[in-house]
Amino acid sequence: MTIHNLDTQNSILLKFISEIRDANIQKDKLRFRRNIERIGELLGYELSKELIYQNQSIKTPLGTKVVPLFKNDLVICSILRAGLPLHQGLLNYFDDAENAFISAYRKHLNHTDKFEIVVEYLASPSLENKTLLLADPMLATGRSMVSVYEDLKKLGTPKQIHIISVIGALEGINYIKDKFPKNTHLWIATVDDTLNAKGYIVPGLGDAGDLSYGLKL
């Protein structure tokens, strides 16, 4: 797996990351969702450099111009519900991509910090020989990402996989490294060092789904 951590260079991305972390700014759900969306756009721009390009002739009102355009058949798959703003950011740039949605949540066992990942809902086109963009803003333990991927396998074998996350923990990144094909790319806006006892990223930002759409039962 090739890992692309975008916070190693100074850019406007750092402003968006700081705002989604800020406990005061993140109270504005609209701004929080928009910042996640903008981060998705920037991650999408960076990953577009790894797609396959082919020259195409474009006719203008005054002549023709040969332009290299990517020819990948893209499928953007987001993990509900937290992945929706990130999905929209990617879709803003890859507007003709196919779309897939899958649910994954932590089911805590006997009211303890121990949990299993439950995958229930899936709506997706065929992934056979496609380029899969798998989007989830939080890469904490990595178990949700792996569980989702295992469920997606029944829809075909992608030609290439790009994982897109906003914030990850080193533990989660190390966990998924060997669970995906070797030519997989991970595009991540920033990486934190640790998880707490409940498996949440520290310092992280909290629960991305709750901050985007409100508390859940």
> pLDDT digit string (tens) for 19-30?
999 999 999 999
Q: Token pair 């474009």 is at which residue?
A: 58
What's the rounded mean pLDDT across residues 150-162? Answer: 95
Residue 31 Ramachandran class (φ > 0 left, ψ -120 to 50 alpha, else beta): alpha
State the amino acid at position 12 in one-letter form. I
% residues pLDDT > 90 (the chain) = 83
Q: Is CATH 3.40.50.2020 what the domain over 2-213 is classified as, yes or no?
A: yes
Cα R_g (the chain), whole angstroms? 18
- H or E stretch at 112: none
List the one residue out of 174, 214, 180 whose CA is nearest residue 195: 174
Question: Residue 133 above 90 pLDDT?
Answer: yes
Peptide bond into 106 cis (omega under 30): no
- pTM (predicted TM-score): 0.91
Parse the chain into domains and list their residue ranges.
2-213
Question: Residue 63 above 90 pLDDT?
Answer: yes
What's the rounded mean pLDDT across residues 62-75? Answer: 96
